[in-house]
Structure 1
């Protein structure tokens, strides 16, 4: 009898210990897109960087991260929900594969409010909170910006629908459980917020620390690793403040490389745990090797 050939991938799950805290990368899938949003780089130069990495298209991995700490469970970002087509929106399916349902999550920590990070919060069919028992933790400036009618009136109809309307329909059901923060704040046991401004008004990373070990989950500090690792000056049209976003990225690269800091990102290839190193020709990304143990 011939063995049945596989019809799909195994669930996108990877565990990593940071001291006594376990961080689990959970894939929400991926989204393919073009290079039109790139700024500060000639398109031919961008395409050459993709060719050097043997990448025929711009494919953005979409990663979320579970944090198990002191008997509680947080989820950093919620993925795309139904907004980005069938290759994304896989968070709940992958959580279910390891026995976790929405009601098991104690806190949702958002790096920022963009639809590939916050659009998995609410079931649009009935406005139901998918994470019924979770508080929603997000930078104060995110709430101010995306719920500001004056700011919304400044953008195109497409951006209004994609960013502002989506933010409101996803976040509003959590309005009674929102906990906002500013600057560096402990937002969950062993987890400190880290301001990373520029991409959005309140874009933040989260630093996870335990027993002398540390991980920076840097959100959208890098969108397109094939380009922005080597060219941190390259920005995208959906950076609210492009100059500040580039400056923040450079500062993070300098710190991560000098300190040999472990990082993870929303759009680094899954599972995203990596190091940044600086060489004579610029910065390079070194993905951490897969490990059988949760080192």
Structure 2
């Protein structure tokens, strides 16, 4: 990325001059949690893959602040379906983007001159124009969310993946296409046709003790039910096609693999249930403290080795 600085000395000249330097930004895997409860999950999970960020909303300023520092190998957003803001903010500030709303905003934009910069002033210009195109116009918060998503996905690097962990978004195939339209790079946009619950799960019992709130959506099957057998769907910008995987998605938190698509039926097999159960314990910081405190450190280390033998992808 090119950035211009005011530098006092350039080739012996001590007057202030503009000098363009190439600044290499850090390449990361970005995970955005929009709900506060989602962020707490990731804080208690061993994780060397994702840079986890809590945002109140996907908007212009918050995404610009991230984009100044980072480029993205992969992006994951954990949120309620089609809602790109923390629901605690209330309806007035909610950023809700269905495919029809995104098309509406694009239609308004097509009637304006291309902006020099995507900023608050440009969002207001779209808002003002929308009132001449549609009877009630378009909510300014939704326009800002639309532009924030455009800035975010536009920063995704070639061959990257955008994963939207939310309920039922892929039921509307056009939604994934609209997200893909934010870039001309070769990427994949993944969405779920089923529910993805982000909760604390049931407690782990040991003798008369219970470990609560240790679960995470990382290292687990991301669909809480399997009513739609299409499973996870992705839009591939290289082929401009939607691909129905009919598979479940498992997001990793450690190692080199970002995610794995897995076969499943409406009910998980006992083998799948067991793996998810042990994965949740293995990658839990809280379980490490619990095991070492109420059993022994040696026992915990031996247990980890047993898990790594049984499930090689844990390592």
TM-score w.r.t. the length of structure 2 is: 0.29
More helix by share: 2
The structure whose RCO (Cα within 8 Å, separation 6+) is larger is 1
* TM-score, structure 1 normalization: 0.31
Larger radius of gyration: 2
Specify which structure has the higher proportion of strand: 1
